[in-house]
Amino acid sequence: MACNASPTPDIGVENSVDGAIIDSYWPTTPPVKNAKNITMKWSERAAPGEVAIADLVTYKADKATIFPPTGWALIRDDGGQHVRQTLYWRAVQANDPHEFAWSFSEPVDAQGTIILLADARLDAPVDGSSGNGRGVQGGSDMVAKSVKTTSDGALVLAFYANDFGGAGFNAPDFMGEIVEDETQLGGYWILGTYQKHKGPTPDAICHGGQGFDSVSAQVAIRRSAEATESR
């Protein structure tokens, strides 16, 4: 996979279930090192009715407390000493700014991105999530474990991060790319697919060519009430 620098990515998976739509993502400014905060942006076309998902990746930050901007709700926080992946969501409001600052209780290395979803349920978009705990997996595979959805027509997002840039990344064939970014700090990736019926999703296993510390997660997104009622 090549790095997708477009603000309007195509995940390459047919949305045949009327699920939430990937509207855009916006890369952060360059990764920060030994910093007490990081500012991440979303697309300037963000509009009320959309849901934002923030993917914050930090390194050697196991003892740091993360302070998100006002209005961002935690989805999950996974990792260990070497690499940590923290996910948040927020419903876009009228007159929101287009950039948000996360701060830390002590200096860390950090990077990340924000993606925007259309046609997601605004009051409770996250149907379920799973993660890999301490994050030090060893070997070369990154596994975003199955999550059990409770509603039909879910958008399933898989998030991966490691501390070894350039290790190579081979995505599962049932998922399409949303974000891929490899820097001097390490790499992070977001993939997506759709699931028609409620129930467990498959494990999303990515085979790499290098052993590294890594962390992975799956998050299922509910479609909007309007999309559900139209079925």
| pLDDT (average), residues 133-156 | 79
Check residue 135 and give its pLDDT: 45
Q: Which residues of 143-170 are buried (b: 16+ CB within 10 A; e: fewer)?
A: bbbbbebebbbbbbbbbbbbbbeebebe
* pLDDT digit string, tens, across residues 45-74: 899 999 999 999 999 888 899 999 999 999
d(CA 150, CA 131): 18
For residue 231, what pLDDT band results from cuts at 50, 70 and 90?
very low
Check residue 13 and give its pLDDT: 85
- 71-75, 107-111, 130-134: least confident range: 130-134
Check residue 140 and give its pLDDT: 66
In this structure, is the dihedral angle defined by the CA atoms of residues 21, 27, 32 and 35, taken in order, positive or negative?
Answer: negative
Position with higher pLDDT, 150 vs 27 = 150
Q: E strands along 17-79, which residues?
A: 21-27, 32-41, 51-59, 66-67, 73-79
Position with higher pLDDT, 227 vs 11 = 11
Confidence check: pLDDT of 21 > 70? yes
The helix/strand/coil state of 226 is helix
- 79-93, 153-167, 180-194: least confident range: 153-167
Evaluate whether 10 touches 185 at the Cβ level (below 8 Å). no
In this structure, is the dihedral angle defined by the CA atoms of residues 128, 201, 150 and 194, taken in order, positive or negative?
Answer: positive
| pLDDT (average), residues 23-37 | 85
Work out the mean pLDDT of the chain and round it to a whole number. 86
Residue type present at position 36: K
Q: Could you give the angle at the alpha carbon of 82 between the alpha carbons of 81 and 85, nearest 5°? A: 90
